[in-house]
Structure formats: C-alpha cells, structure tokens
Structure 1
Amino acid sequence: MPSMRMRATAVLAAGTALLAVAGCASGSDSSGSKSGLKLYNDKGAWKPFFEQMGTLGKQQTGLDMKPVGYTDEPTYTAFIKSSFRTKVKPDLFTWSTGGRLQEIVAQNQVADTSAIWQEGIKNGDLTQDLAKYYTVNGKQYCVPLNTGYWGMFYDKKIFAKYNLQPPKTWADLMKAAQTLKSHGQVPFNQTTPTSLFSFAWFEQLLAGTDPDLYEKLSIGQASYTDPGVVKVMEQWKSMIDSGYFSNPGDKADPADSFKAGKAAMVINGTWFNTSMTQRGLKQGTDYGFFIIPNVVSSLPKTSLVFESGPLCSLNKAPDKEASTKYLKWWITPAAQEKWANARGDVSGNPKVKVADPALDATTKEAASDQNRLVLRYFEAAPAPVLTAALSGFDGFLNKPGTYKKVLEDIQKVADEYWKTHKAGS
C-alpha cells in the first residue's frame, strides 16, 4: 500500500495538474457575473441532480448554476485548497463539517453564513440542532447540502432466498452473516473503492459498543490505544477472518457490486439510495434499509451515525452577493423538496416531506428518543487524525493482523494534534 507521504505527493501533483486546466473553468463565467455560478463538488455521480437544481434555481432566483463534479476526493480537495491562493476560485463548493471545516475556517477562507442560519431557524427551514455542526467559534459557515443517516442496505431477494429478516439485535445480524457465508454468499461489501469510507465499520462497531468512548476520541479525551478501541478492532478483525466481507482489493463501486449480487449488504448513508436508484434498483422491491442494532444490547439508546455535508462559498468568491443569494435559496422548502426527492434522500429542512416511505420512516425513527445521534467519523475526527486513520484502516483491511500498529500510528498523529489544540473543544 502507498505510504501517506507518497499519497500526499500524488495529491499535490494532481492539484498542480488541475490548475493548468482550471483557468477556463474558474468560478463565475466572467469573474463576477451575476447570472452564472459554478458549483464545484466531489459528487460527480450527482451531476443530473445538480443540473435539475440549476434549472429550478434559474427559474426561482434568476441565477444560473452549473455543476463541476469530481469523483476523486484527494484531487478535489487539492483543487479547493489551491483555490485559496490562486485566482481560480469557485462560486460555491461542497465540503464536510467537523475538523475539515474548522481547518479552512481557521484560514479565513469561508464566508460567514450566520445571518442565513438565523433567518432559516426563525423561518423553520433550519434547526438549532443542525446549526451546531456548522458552528465554529460561535459563528456559522456554509449551509446543509445534504443530511444522512448511516445504516444497512440489504438485498431483499437474497434475504428472501435464505429466509432472513432485517435484524433486531447484533446477534441476529451476525447469525444472518453466518447463514449467508455458509451458502457461499458474501454478507458485507467493504465499501472501499477508495480509502474514503474505510472508517465505516470502525465507526459502527465503536459507536454501537461504547458511544461515549467514540465521542471522546474525536475531542482528544481518549486514546486510540484504549482497551475499548483495541477490542473493537479485534472484533472487526474477527469478522474479516470469518469471511464476512468482500475482497478489499475489489475497487468496484459498492452499488455495482450490490446490483451484481456480490454482497448481500452494504453499510452506507441514506444518500447511497441515489446510487441504487441510478442503477435501476427499486427501494422496497430490490433492496431495503435498516438501522444497525448496537453491538452491546444493554445500551439505553441505539447509536445512529449522522452526517450533514455543507455547501459553502468563499470570503473572496468571484461574486459574493450572488453566491450568498444562492445559498439562501438552497435551504428553502421549494429547493430542498426538489433536491431531496430527486435523489431519493432525506432533507435538513424540517418542512420537506420525503416521498420515499422507507426514508420517511427512517427520518422519523432517527428523531425518536430510542436513538442517539453520533457524528460520522469523517466529520468528527480532526483533519490530520482523519488522514492518518483513513490510511491506517485501509491498510488494516488488507492486513488485519496489523491493527495494534495501526492504532498506535493514529494515536501518534492525535498526540501531535492535541499538543496545539485544546482537548474537549
């Protein structure tokens, strides 16, 4: 597996290459046009949905928006960060909350959206609960591009073939995995076409075992070498050793693997529903979705992994007024209803009715007192720690026996980070 240094070099090279061609793909079409905006994103597969939003936005705001999508996360990140110091600046761009948002806010790059949030909360288009994920040092930045809950997508036909039902307990889930394995069927897809989602099972196992420990890790109040974390890695290793996962060397898109029946289940966010429907699969007929039960059944609430991805603009956006106007429109019910239901996903706007009955039920269940929302690891971990963890978990999937070394290496980076940052914040 390539070292982190080699990956960093590759990312820098990709960013340099992008600058060579980005001059004709800068932010606004004429560096400040009030009619044309470009929305840079790391969700290239969502191009049709962004285009639908562009059409609706043009009708309702007079602003034209064209998406510029990337499918490789490191290349996209390199481009956005390079825009901070060049003239090639996006009008709008997608990012992530948590440590990565804090990082670019600290560099004074992101436009303050506190006024949009105050108005949105007052109008009922945004919630105070969601605001905390967009708050850095008392101010809000960006607006919700999407929200999502992580759970398990499962192949209904495979489940029916082996008389399986969505599990109510962790023991049920492991029994289903063993049943599938005994019939030569791979139970779980690794969800790793890249290392981007290599954290998924770590997050799920730890949050479902000790959610307090999971949250303490993200704020520097616990160590990755804590016995509780080690135990979770050992459990993950045991599942890999049992043959419950697809080959980590298979870089096919999880949705393609799922459609081909290579794996009966795939852990992912509700937004993955978009990938399924794009491939002609039907919710309720071809596949279903369930919230994953806790590993430890005695926990008072089910740990439900939650994420919300931001849509941002820069302090030095080509046309700050136009970008701000578009962000204000984006959170309105008319925009959010189109955006959520076109993709078959949930919305951060409480006024929006989710058309898909299963997703609507998931949204209601997520809001119940039976669940404890925990922030997705990708957003919860500080940026340097996340980078180390993604690389480490990716290596672990290929060599499960290295789990202790992986945790030690992540903790070294965490120690360095928390030397200059206040733990608990």
Structure 2
Amino acid sequence: MKQHHTRSALVAAAAATALLLGACSGGGDEGGGGGGNGGDGGDAAPTELGFFTDKAAWEPQFDEMNAASGDADQSTLSFTGYSDAAAYDAFIKQAFRTNDKPDLFTWHTGGQLGELVEAGLVAETTDLWEEAAANGDVPEGLIENYTYDGKQYCVPLNVVYWVMYYNKQVYADNGLEVPTTWDELMSNAQTLVDNGVVPFHQMNFIFEFVWFQTVVAGSDPEAYVGLQDGSVSYTDPTIVEAMEVWHQMQTDGYFIDPGVTTDPQTLLQTGEVAMANFGTFFTGQLNALGMVPDEDYGIFAIPNVNPDVEAQQAIVETGPLCVGAGSANEQAALDYSAWWMGVDAQNAWTEAFGDVSFNPNVESPDPALSAVVSQVTGPDFQIQKRWLEATPVPIYTVASEEFGAFVTNNGDPMAHLEAIQAAADAYWAEQ
C-alpha cells in the first residue's frame, strides 16, 4: 500500500513493521475453465504445484500445510515467496506472458482481481463455490469478493474480520462493560477521556480509512455499497453526516495522536489506548507480546452507528488463492483449491497459523477469536467488503491522502469529501 504524509510516515512506517508482517491484505482454456469437483478427486493425480505468494514469511506454515495435504492424498506446494509486494505483482503479470504460468498464486480482491479475470488469466471456480456453499463451508456474503459477471474466480486464502480489541484491565479499572450499542461505545469513550485515558487507536497512513468504513457502513450500509459503484457520491448527505460523526469523535479527544510511532499492539498492551479497531490478524501481534486472550484483552463486534439498521454490519477483507488459467497443472490446482475450502484443510490452517478460518465449520484455537467470529458470521450480521478492496484504485489513491490529512489535522470534512468525489467523478466518467 502507498505510504504518505511525510510529517510522520517515515518514522511510523518503521514502527508499524511488526504489525504489517502479520496483516493480510493481501485452469481450463483461457478465460476460465470449470471448477474442480470438491476435494473428492478431480481429473488430475496429486503432484507438486508451483505456488507463488507475496507472503514470504509464511513459508514455515505452508510447510505444515504440505504435511496435511500430503496426508490427504492431495498435491503439495513448491513455495516461492516475495517480500516486496510491487516486485511480486510485476512478476505475476509477467509470468502470464510466458509458457511458465503459475499453478497457484496469491492475489488481491476487488479491482485487481477483476483485471486478471477480464484478461482470462485465472481459472473459474464456480463449481467449487457451489459445493462449498452446499456444505456450509463459506459464510454468506464472502462470495461477493470472488464474483465477476455471475461467476466465481479463485478461492479464499484467508479472511480477516475487522473488530474492536480492548484492554480488559483498563475496562475493569474504569468500570466499563462491553458495549452493545454505538451510544454505549461513545459513553465508554467519554468515561475514559474523563479519567485521562485515550479511548481509541488511529493511524494517518496505511489504515487511515478504518474509521471511515466503520462509521459509514454502520450508518447506512446501502450508501456504503453505493460508494463502490459510483451510485452514491462522497458528498451525499449520508456520507457527510458519517464524516461529521468521525470529526466529532476526533474533536472530543477520543483518538491517540496519529503521529505516535509506537506499535499499536504495544499501545493496547500498556493501556495507552483502551481500544483498537483492527482486523483479526491483530490477535497474533498481541499474543506475541505475551498477552492472553480473554484475560489481558477481549474482542467485540463494533455496534452500528445507526440503531435502525436491521442487520449488524461486519467488515471483512479476504485474500484470494488463484489458479493460473492454462498452467501446466491447472486441474490439480483446482482439486487442491477444492480441498483447501474444506474442513480438514482449514483445521490444518488454524493450527498452523493460529488464525481464524473463513470456513464457519472450523473453530480457531483462540477462544476470543472463536467467539467473535461465530458472532459476526451469524444470521444477525451482514458482511461488507473492506473499503480498500471495494474502492477502485484511482479513487483510493486520492482518498487515502485525504483521509490521512483528515486524521492528522481534523479539518473540515467537506473539503476532503469534495476532493475524493472529484476523483470518483473522473474515474466513473471513463467506465
């Protein structure tokens, strides 16, 4: 992702390295073939698949996944990891211009996946998704991240739910209960401010958009979706009102100075902030500091801003595992993808990574994660795409700068929204 705001970005980037290392998102004939047949065996014998990823640090965990797939008489992966995201993206695009197309590779959802689909570079996986849905192996709403013109492409490598982490000792010291409404959350924040505690973490780079997506989706889910296709303007009264909510939270002193360079996991551990709005990858960062889930920290789903919204909103990001169309082992890679979506593979995933699985039938070994994932994937919740992946890149490029400036200076929200809408107008006019 792009780093910006030179006042603090250089030092903050170094301080955030540990966080980012744990963060995600991140066949047939050309144009996409049919999917495999659900992990019960396809048309190809198990083999060693060429696997390319920008998650170089995950090689030990994929060694464990190879042991699991080998035991299941599935293909294994020959791991090639890149540490530089830009170099990796360039490599993948170049590889499809050669005869050595990748069997399996990780990519991005949103517009970047759409570009590969339109170019016929990734295999269709519609059959795999149909079988996974029939087995209850994917939560409702996740499929939208992988659907283009009514067909599915790739499968979920992982999934991250954006929730609220809180320091349990800080909550106890200030007599707070886990909020179930937005008003209760704001009341908790005010109590903390009154007692000299900073309620929330916030960043002015990389994750500068987090509170925008939280407030807008929790205020008007239809407007949040409308921003993604240009049917709703960033200057729409609903969006302006949501920005004013965020603006007031900043004015009331609910956020830490975004220029602070201390890692967010350390800030939560020490109680310098009481709460942090992060993806579930944040669990690994806290556990690495020796914090114990359900003892030192807790997790809760962030309540809707608007209590009249029927479904509770949950933001999800997901990284795809893609099969290269026309690759040497395309069918075997599709068979592996079908296995990957099932319970056995995802149980191995949670054990190897200590993370959540996209599969609702698989529990995380972490009790705090299990509880919140069960909640947000339940019938009372509606899953929304993370704003970064849901937003066309030209709009995101401008908006990330504007949100970063807004977080840093807490200026007039309307000026920032007008600048973002100008970029949106230019983008949608060309579509």
AA in 2 matched with 1:245: F
Aligned residue number for residue 182 of structure 1: 194
The answer to whether residue 74 in structure 2 is matched with residue 64 in structure 1 is no
Deviations 1:22-62 (A, max 9, x none): xxxxxxxxxxx953533303x45655433432333344325
In structure 2, stretches of 5+ residues that fail to align are: 10-45
CA shift, 1:69, in A, is: 5.0
Q: What do residues 196-251 of structure 1 show as CA deviations (whole Å, max 9, x unaligned)?
A: x2211001111111222111111211100112212222221222233322222234
Match of 2:239 among 211, 219, 229: 229
Q: Determine the C-alpha separation between the residues in 2 that align with 1:354 and 1:203.
A: 26
Residue in structure 2 matched with residue 104 of structure 1 by the alignment: 116
Residue equivalent to 2:18: none
Matched, 1:339 2:349: yes
Counterpart AA for 1:103: E
Matches of 1:256 and 1:36, distance apart in 2: 39
1:152 aligns with 2:164: yes
Identity of aligned residues (%): 40
1:312 maps to which residue? 322
Q: Which has the higher helix share?
A: 1
Change (3 A) 1:189 1:3: closer
Structure 1 residue 83 displacement after superposition: 4.5
Contact 1:151–1:268 (8 Å) recurs in 2: yes
1:265 shift after superposition: 0.9
Task: Give the paired residue count.
Answer: 390
Q: Which residue of structure 2 lines up, in the alignment, with residue 262 of structure 1?
A: 272
The separation in 2 between residues aligned to 1:44 and 1:190, in whole angstroms, is 27
Q: Do residues 328 (structure 1) and 341 (structure 2) align?
A: no
Aligned match for 1:35, one of 48, 52, 64: 48
Alignment of 1:269-284 (within 5 A): 269-284=279-294
Q: Is the 8 A contact 1:198 1:393 kept in 2?
A: yes
State the Cα deviation string for residues 162-189 of structure 1 (Å, max 9, x = none).
2222112222212222222333322211
| Corresponding position of 2:151 | 139
Q: How many angstroms apart in 2 are the aligned matches of 1:404 and 1:81?
A: 38
Give the TM-score normalised by structure 1. Answer: 0.80
Cα 1:384–1:360 shift into 2, 3 Å: same
**RMSD, aligned α-carbons:** 3.1
SS of equivalent residue, structure 2 residue 284: helix
Q: Which residue of 1 aligns with 2:14?
A: none
How far apart are the structure 2 equivalents of 1:368 and 1:287? 23
Question: 2:370 aligned with 1:360, yes or no?
Answer: yes
Deviations, residues 392-423 of structure 1 (Å, cap 9, x unaligned): 212222232153232222212211222243xx
Q: 1:65 to 1:208 in 2, by over 3 A?
A: same
Work out the CA distance in 1 between the residues paired with 2:47 and 2:295: 45
For 1:407 and 1:212, how far apart are their aligned partners in 2? 18
Q: State the secondary structure of the residue aligned to 1:64.
A: strand
Hey, what does 1:411 align to over in structure 2? 421
What SS does the corresponding residue of 1:346 show, helix, strand or coil? coil
Secondary structure of the 1:171 match is helix
Q: Is the 8 A contact 1:58 1:64 kept in 2?
A: no
Alpha-carbon distance, 1:277 to partner: 2.3
Range 408-417 or range 137-146, more displaced:
408-417
Within 2, Cα distance between the matches of 1:101 and 1:273?
27
**1:319 offset after TM fit, Å?**
4.2
Which amino acid counterpart does residue 48 of structure 2 have in structure 1?
S
Residues 7-26 of structure 1 aligned to structure 2 (within 5 Å): none
Say whether 1:211 aligns with 2:239.
no
